[in-house]
């Protein structure tokens, strides 16, 4: 197995270039300053001659020492934290040591004499590591405290808990700290936010007495003001920075700046019950990895006048939410601005407005750049929850690239101006019902301007060019047909996404206020430079194991270099079938080679298995140019798997130019190619010779069993097999069941073998299918005619 290419280095180079071109979002591209894992000691922040500096060395210290010098350190800080500190004092832990105490500070500093907790000496940051359901550091009812230069781990607990339970508190700062392995355990429920230890968070600010489900009627008596989290890094943890302020919004003036949150099973950050709070210059990467409940990388809930800005959101992929922009219930006058968002499940969704949360109104999204944020199920790009509307949203000067499912239905009094929308192939557009202002928007990659936009322009926006992930590519060229046609929406907004000044004369359509020289057409779907070659059975098995261990391969093209005979083995699918994994997200190119002879395994003992096939689960995957021969299901499971010989559960993606042959027998949602399709799924130029059988009354389809959400396209395909079992209302030679009214299924130039008992598509258990099904130039063919067409396929033999 061999890797080659310089894709990762190229991305780093692009982001460094971006930092030079875009000083405004330097924090988003370059991250914070949290890498103070090695260095020198903290410096006391007061010059009070009565203040004391205490030294703690958990390895070489002694409780009989006075702790007043590095030569005579204390072994523990527990007594100091409980009763021995005064305003202005400093407690320093020696670098390179591990403290296992559960520390709770009971003394406050003052504005002039804060209490400081930090590090001294040389080497790695001192590690505060606690075991059990505990916090490493608890700061309840204390003010004017600075915590800095520490590393924190809590494998079954939480990091820091800051709360006001018996008095107002103010001015608590956590800076330049690293949090790793904070409850990095797969979960099936939302964390209990009633206490720090139960929160699974790097930092819990506030609490919800009674647990997570009590927030709707929970108010706080005491205020928590001026919390600052700066230059911190959170990795391999459950959740990052969780602000919970209750219905009366008792958290005020919180600030999160220059932080990196990467690899979270849960959420990155929430401003809940907050007022006048800001997150700026941060990275929210690879969050929301557990699919057990609805979560997002960084979101608002019951918040007022809060901002998330100048930050990067990337690779946040989950079956449920996972969107960059999320104004949940009770969000009022909150803003996302200057955001670089890419490769997320969705850009904007779940803008929920329910009376129990309070009104959701007056929010803003502006000067954001979104790339490939649309590849998941159920209204995956811009949209509000179907049960209610988002009121008075202002959405302007944003650039959205590769929009597949574009959902605007539940917006009330929407301002929609100066946006550039570049649609993906096979996109779906659901339009709004209540518009306030629509003007100066540009659409590209579609055949019509949306009906709600009476003044919109259908045109190539004329970006300067470069490549898909280079932010500077989306500056308009000086020769663009839309230069100078923007309208100034808000005079208080004085800069664009790159920090360029905005004036009435310089405002543009899109997220930049400047023009540049044309450098070439952007390739919106570039081939990744990172290549993984597979040519043996052992290499294919090793690849499967890495995907099932959590590697998405989202920047990799996997290629077959030889035919692979699996020798009749029991095949464990590539991409963990559980509901808590994304699966494979790269490109799998067979280069005309064959994978043959395997029985696809199932396992009733594994909780939540959803996808069974060569690939179990895939998000945004591309599969092409291979033959799959003599693959079968064992058909033994009675659970609710989704069976597809190529992919069991495909959450947006493409399957093209393939030949598939075998037997598919299963309990639920059995497809010759895909078991369950969600989001934007395109299957084209394939020949499928599979006998499909369902052992229950659920869906069966020769190509796709079940279109659950979004849009499925079947184009230039042939099905030469047979569909058995189930009910005819849910069986189809090309597609079986279509589940929701907003699903779309487009069948073009695709045919199936006429055995006198098949039809193109099934439905939803009623006499007419749900959603929209458009069939063009397709239908049944006799055996001789369809085999003649199949023989023209380059992989048919």
Query: How far is 129 from 181, CA to CA, in rounded Å?
Result: 10
| Helices and strands counted in the chain (H then E) | 5, 67
Query: How far is 678 from 650, CA to CA, in rounded Å?
Result: 6
DSSP structure class, residue 9: H
Both structure tokens of 741: 């009214």
Residue at 586 is within a domain: yes
Pick from 534, 500, 535: nearest CA to 515: 500
| Same-domain pairing of 657 and 586 | yes
| Same-domain pairing of 710 and 579 | yes
The number of distinct structural domains making up the chain is 3
DSSP structure class, residue 452: T
Give the three-state DSSP class for 780. strand
Inter-residue contact 54 to 68 (CB < 8 Å): yes
| Same-domain pairing of 54 and 136 | no
Cα–Cα distances in angstroms (integers) from residue 764 to residues 263, 531, 580, 645, in the given order: 38, 41, 27, 23
| Same-domain pairing of 624 and 565 | yes
Q: What distance lies between CA 692 and its chain's CA centroid?
A: 34
| Same-domain pairing of 210 and 295 | yes
- 503-507: list long-range contacts, CB under 8 Å, 24+ apart: 507/397, 507/418
Inter-residue contact 261 to 295 (CB < 8 Å): no
The helix (H) or strand (E) run that includes residue 571 is strand 564-571
Sheet holding 103-105, edge to edge: 103-105, 135-140, 158-163, 201-206, 239-244, 269-272, 298-301
Residue at 60 is within a domain: yes
Query: How far is 134 from 102, CA to CA, in rounded Å?
Result: 7
The helix (H) or strand (E) run that includes residue 654 is strand 647-656
- Classify strands 364-366 and 335-337 as parallel, antiparallel or unpaired: parallel
Q: What distance lies between CA 60 and its chain's CA centroid?
A: 44
In DSSP terms, 263 is beta-bridged to none
User: Burial level of 624, CB count in 10 A (0-12/13-18/19+)?
Assistant: middle
Q: What is the pLDDT of residue 31?
A: 42
| Same-domain pairing of 603 and 716 | yes
Q: What is the pLDDT of residue 20?
A: 32
With a CB cutoff of 8 Å and minimum separation 6, the contacts of 413 are: 391, 392, 393, 434, 435, 436
Cα–Cα distances in angstroms (integers) from residue 437 to residues 337, 416, 440, 487, in the given order: 20, 6, 10, 12
DSSP result, 313-351: EE----SS--EEE-B-TT-BS-EEES-EEES-SEEE---
Q: What is the pLDDT of residue 248?
A: 77
Q: What is the pLDDT of residue 253?
A: 98
pLDDT tens digit string along 601-611?
866 555 444 68
Domain of residue 102, CATH code = 3.30.1910
Inter-residue contact 334 to 356 (CB < 8 Å): no
Residue at 565 is within a domain: yes
The torsion defined by the Cα of 388, 392, 397 and 399, in degrees rounded to 10, comes to 0
| Same-domain pairing of 218 and 153 | yes
**First-last CA distance in the chain:** 28
Query: How far is 637 from 643, CA to CA, in rounded Å?
Result: 11
Q: What is the pLDDT of residue 26?
A: 37
Query: How far is 121 from 191, CA to CA, in rounded Å?
Result: 37
Q: What is the pLDDT of residue 740?
A: 63
| Same-domain pairing of 712 and 738 | yes
Residue at 303 is within a domain: yes
**Domain limits for position 246:** 130-321
- Count other Cβ atoms within 10 Å, centred on residue 217: 9
Rg of the chain over all Cα atoms, to the nearest angstrom: 28
Query: How far is 513 from 506, CA to CA, in rounded Å?
Result: 6
Pick from 478, 593, 620: nearest CA to 536: 593
Both structure tokens of 197: 């230890």
Q: What is the pLDDT of residue 23?
A: 40
Give the three-state DSSP class for 10. helix
- Classify strands 530-534 and 556-560 as parallel, antiparallel or unpaired: parallel
| Same-domain pairing of 741 and 686 | yes
- Count other Cβ atoms within 10 Å, centred on residue 704: 30
Domain of residue 732, CATH code = 2.160.20.110
| Same-domain pairing of 111 and 235 | no
Residue at 661 is within a domain: yes
The residue with tokens 């009812």 is: 141
Counting as low any pLDDT under 70, the low residues of the chain are 1-47, 188, 209-220, 291-292, 319, 350-358, 374-389, 404-410, 424-436, 518-526, 576-582, 602-610, 634-640, 709-710, 726-728, 740-742, 756-757, 762-771
Inter-residue contact 352 to 329 (CB < 8 Å): yes
> In the listed set 321, 342, 377, which residue is the last one of a domain according to the structure?
321
What region does 288 belong to: left with phi over 0, alpha with psi -120 to 50, or beta? left
| Same-domain pairing of 114 and 143 | no
Query: How far is 535 from 563, CA to CA, in rounded Å?
Result: 7
Q: What is the pLDDT of residue 47?
A: 66
Q: What is the pLDDT of residue 449?
A: 82
Query: How far is 485 from 482, CA to CA, in rounded Å?
Result: 6
Query: How far is 277 from 774, CA to CA, in rounded Å?
Result: 48
pTM as predicted: 0.77
DSSP result, 623-665: EEEEEEEEEEE-----S--EEESSEEEEEEEEEES-EEEEEEE
Residue at 720 is within a domain: yes
With a CB cutoff of 8 Å and minimum separation 6, the contacts of 302 are: 215, 245, 246, 247, 249, 272, 273, 328, 329, 330, 331, 357, 358
> In the listed set 118, 141, 159, which residue is the last one of a domain according to the structure?
118
Three-state SS sequence of 152-192: EEECCCEEEEEECCCCCEEEEEEECCEEEEECCCCCCCCCC
Q: What is the pLDDT of residue 34?
A: 40
Residue at 502 is within a domain: no
Both structure tokens of 174: 């956590």
Query: How far is 471 from 653, CA to CA, in rounded Å?
Result: 24
The residue with tokens 């219905």 is: 247
Three-state SS sequence of 173-239: EEECCEEEEECCCCCCCCCCCCCCHHHCEEEEEECCCCCHHHHHHCCCCCCEEEEEEECCEEEEECE
Q: What is the pLDDT of residue 405?
A: 63
Residue at 398 is within a domain: no
The helix (H) or strand (E) run that includes residue 416 is strand 414-417
- Count other Cβ atoms within 10 Å, centred on residue 588: 28
Give the three-state DSSP class for 132. coil
Both structure tokens of 178: 């690293």
Q: What is the pLDDT of residue 323?
A: 86
Query: How far is 99 from 75, CA to CA, in rounded Å?
Result: 9
Query: How far is 424 from 523, CA to CA, in rounded Å?
Result: 12
| Same-domain pairing of 148 and 69 | no
Query: How far is 775 from 601, CA to CA, in rounded Å?
Result: 34
Query: How far is 767 from 729, CA to CA, in rounded Å?
Result: 7
> In the listed set 273, 295, 321, which residue is the last one of a domain according to the structure?
321
Query: How far is 377 from 618, CA to CA, in rounded Å?
Result: 12
């Amino acid at each position: 197995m061999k890797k080659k290419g310089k894709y990762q280095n190229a991305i780093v180079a692009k982001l460094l270039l971006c930092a030079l071109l875009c000083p405004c979002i330097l924090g988003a591209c370059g991250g914070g300053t949290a890498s103070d894992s090695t260095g020198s000691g903290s410096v006391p922040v007061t010059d009070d001659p009565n203040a004391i500096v205490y030294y703690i060395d958990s390895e070489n210290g002694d409780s009989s020492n006075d702790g007043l010098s590095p030569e005579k350190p204390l072994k523990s800080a527990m007594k100091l934290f409980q009763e021995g500190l005064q305003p202005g004092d400093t407690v320093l832990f020696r670098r390179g040591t591990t403290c296992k105490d559960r520390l709770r500070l009971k003394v406050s500093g003052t504005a002039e004499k804060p209490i400081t907790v930090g590090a001294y000496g040389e080497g790695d940051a001192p590690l505060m590591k606690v075991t059990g359901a505990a916090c490493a550091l608890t700061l309840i009812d204390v003010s004017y405290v600075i915590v800095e230069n520490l590393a924190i781990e809590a494998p079954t607990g939480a990091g820091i808990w800051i709360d006001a339970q018996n008095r107002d508190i103010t001015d608590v700062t956590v800076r330049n700290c690293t949090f790793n392995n904070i409850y990095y355990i797969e979960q099936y429920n939302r964390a209990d936010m009633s206490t720090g230890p139960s929160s699974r968070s790097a930092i819990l600010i506030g609490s919800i007495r009674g647990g997570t489900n009590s927030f709707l009627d929970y108010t706080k008596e005491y205020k928590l003001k001026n919390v600052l989290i700066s230059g911190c890094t959170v990795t391999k943890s459950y959740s990052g920075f969780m602000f919970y302020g209750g219905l009366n919004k008792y958290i005020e003036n919180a600030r999160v700046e220059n932080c990196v949150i990467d690899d979270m099973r849960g959420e990155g950050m929430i401003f809940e019950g907050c007022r006048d709070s800001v997150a700026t210059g941060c990275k929210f990467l690879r969050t929301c990895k557990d699919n057990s409940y609805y979560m997002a990388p960084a979101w608002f809930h019951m918040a007022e006048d809060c901002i998330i800005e100048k930050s990067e959101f990337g690779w946040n992929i989950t079956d449920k939410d996972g969107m960059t922009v999320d104004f949940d219930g009770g969000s009022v006058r909150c803003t996302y601005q200057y955001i670089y968002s890419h490769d997320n499940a969705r850009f904007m969704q779940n803008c929920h407005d329910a009376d129990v949360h309070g009104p959701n109104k007056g929010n803003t999204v502006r000067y954001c750049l979104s790339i490939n944020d649309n590849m998941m199920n159920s209204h995956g790009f811009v949209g509000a929850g179907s049960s209610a509307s988002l009121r008075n949203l202002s959405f302007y000067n944003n650039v959205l690239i590769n929009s597949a499912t574009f959902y605007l239905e539940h917006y009330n009094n929407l301002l929609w101006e100066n946006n550039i929308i570049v649609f993906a192939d096979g996109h779906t557009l659901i339009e709004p019902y209540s518009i306030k202002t629509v003007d100066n928007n540009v659409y590209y990659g579609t055949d019509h301007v949306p009906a709600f936009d009476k003044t919109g322009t259908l045109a190539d926006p004329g970006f300067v060019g470069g490549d898909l992930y280079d932010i500077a590519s989306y500056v308009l060229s000086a020769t663009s047909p839309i230069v100078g046609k923007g309208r100034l929406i808000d005079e208080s907004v004085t800069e664009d996404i790159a920090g360029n000044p905005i004036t009435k004369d310089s405002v543009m359509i899109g997220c930049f206020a400047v023009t540049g020289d044309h450098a070439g057409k952007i390739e919106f779907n570039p081939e990744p430079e990172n290549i993984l070659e597979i040519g043996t059975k052992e290499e294919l098995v090793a690849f499967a194991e890495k995907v099932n261990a959590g590697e998405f391969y989202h920047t990799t093209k996997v290629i077959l270099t030889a035919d692979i005979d699996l020798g009749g083995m029991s095949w464990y699918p590539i991409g963990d079938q559980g509901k808590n994994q994304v699966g494979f997200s790269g490109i799998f190119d067979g280069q005309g080679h064959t994978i043959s002879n395997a029985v696809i395994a199932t396992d009733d003992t594994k909780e939540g298995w959803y996808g069974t096939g060569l690939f179990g689960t895939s998000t945004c995957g591309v599969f092409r140019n291979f033959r799959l021969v003599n693959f079968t299901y064992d058909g033994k499971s009675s659970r609710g798997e989704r069976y597809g010989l190529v992919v069991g559960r495909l959450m947006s993606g493409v399957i093209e130019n393939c030949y598939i042959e075998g037997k598919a027998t299963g309990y639920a949602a059995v497809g010759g190619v895909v078991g369950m399709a969600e989001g934007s799924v395109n299957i084209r130029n394939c020949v499928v010779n599979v006998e499909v059988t369902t052992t229950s009354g659920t869906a069966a389809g020769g190509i796709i069993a079940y279109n659950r959400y979004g849009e499925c396209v079947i184009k230039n395909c042939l099905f030469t097999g047979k569909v058995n079992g189930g009910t005819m209302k849910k069986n189809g030679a090309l597609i079986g069941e279509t589940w929701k009214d907003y699903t779309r299924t487009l069948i073009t130039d695709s045919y199936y073998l006429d055995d006198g008992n098949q039809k193109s598509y099934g439905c939803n258990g009623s006499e007419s299918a749900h959603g929209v099904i458009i069939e063009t130039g397709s239908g049944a063919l006799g055996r001789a005619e369809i085999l003649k067409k199949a023989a023209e396929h380059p992989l048919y033999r």
